[in-house]
């Protein structure tokens, strides 16, 4: 099985190097999709041996992962491991995710079983649980952490799974995959809240978050 890791990155120069090193031990190739960073993310990623795809302008993590998926599909990889560049995802868990992916289409690293979810702020916990229950009910799928970005996909699934959202993509993608009948499994992984870099959850994101989620869910239900 040929495996590629896709690491979406935006201003992650402090952590991207160690994430690449940790991830490279478990996959055939590491691809960093730089979402038009202002810092040295691109240079550091290249220095650590990663293939770097550079966006011409910033689109958001959803757009960055889509570029990575496209690379994986065009280069005929079998599996795609998705890892955040901020160091929140432990590359040491990748073998367990890959092992589970041998007999399913998508594996999500869940913070629910490991108890990591309890370390998150109350608002995010409530949001994650609410969205997870919504997706589980609408997609008729058993998931406990729908917003986790630490995932493994079978590339054949990604070919027919084109999420439109450039920012909060996970809900739309998971719901669309579930409605397509994809086999989605979870593996318990510890994932503490990020300590380095800027979170994608800024004030304006927090305000717009509920509307974007409604948009993502409605889009999946109406158009797919």
Partner 1 sequence: MAYSVVNLVSLVIGLGLLANGYLVVNREHEEFLLFLVSVGAGAGLVFVSLLPNAFETVATVLGLEFKTHAILVVSNLALFALVAYLLNRLAKLYYRLSRLNEEVSILKHELEERSDE
Rule CB under 8 A: which residues touch partner 1?
33, 51-57, 59, 63, 66-67, 70-71, 74, 164, 166
Within 8 A by CB and 6+ apart from 53, the residues are 31, 32, 33, 34, 67, 68, 71
Nearest residue (CB) to partner 1, 45 versus 117: 45
Cβ neighbours of residue 224 closer than 8 Å, sequence gap 6 or more:
176, 179, 180
Q: How far is the CB of 124 from partner 1 (least distance, A)?
A: 26
DSSP secondary structure code for residue 117 in this structure? G
How far apart are CB 57 and partner 1 at their closest, in Å? 6
Our CB check for partner 1 shows the closer of 57 and 211 to be 57
Residues 6 or more apart from 220 whose CB is under 8 A from it? 138, 172, 175, 176, 179
Cβ proximity to partner 1: between 55 and 129 the closer is 55
End-to-end CA distance of the chain, in Å?
Answer: 30
Number of neighbouring beta carbons within 10 Å of residue 195: 9
Nearer to partner 1, 21 or 166 (CB): 166
Closest by Cα among 156, 146, 210 to 184: 146
Shortest distance (Å) from residue 199 CB to partner 1: 22
Least spacing, CB of residue 61 vs partner 1, in Å: 12
Task: State the minimum distance, in angstroms, from the CB of residue 20 to partner 1.
Answer: 16
* Shortest Å, Cβ 205 to partner 1: 17
DSSP letters spanning 134-164: HHHHHHT---S-TT---EEEEHHHHHT----
Please state, in angstroms and rounded to a whole number, the distance separating the CA atoms of residues 151 and 192: 16
């Amino acid at each position: 099985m040929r495996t590629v890791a896709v690491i979406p990155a935006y201003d992650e120069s402090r952590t991207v190097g160690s994430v690449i090193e940790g991830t490279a031990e478990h996959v055939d190739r590491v691809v960093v999709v730089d979402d038009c960073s202002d810092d040295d993310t691109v240079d550091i990623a290249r220095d650590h041996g990663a293939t770097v795809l550079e966006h011409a302008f910033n689109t958001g993590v959803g757009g960055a992962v889509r570029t990575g998926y496209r690379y994986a599909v065009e280069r005929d990889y079998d599996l795609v491991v998705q890892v955040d560049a901020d160091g929140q995802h432990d590359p040491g868990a990748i073998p367990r995710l890959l092992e589970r992916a041998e007999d399913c289409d998508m594996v999500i690293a869940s913070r629910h079983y490991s108890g990591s979810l309890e370390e998150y702020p109350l608002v995010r916990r409530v949001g994650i649980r609410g969205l997870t229950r919504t997706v589980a009910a609408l997609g008729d799928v058993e998931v406990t952490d729908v917003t986790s970005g630490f995932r493994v996909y079978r590339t054949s699934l990604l070919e027919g799974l084109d999420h439109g959202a450039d920012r909060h993509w996970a809900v739309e993608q998971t719901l669309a995959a579930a409605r397509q009948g994809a086999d989605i499994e979870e593996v318990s992984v510890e994932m503490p809240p990020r300590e380095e870099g800027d979170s994608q959850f800024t004030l304006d994101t927090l305000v717009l978050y509920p509307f974007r989620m409604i948009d993502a869910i409605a889009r999946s239900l109406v158009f797919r």
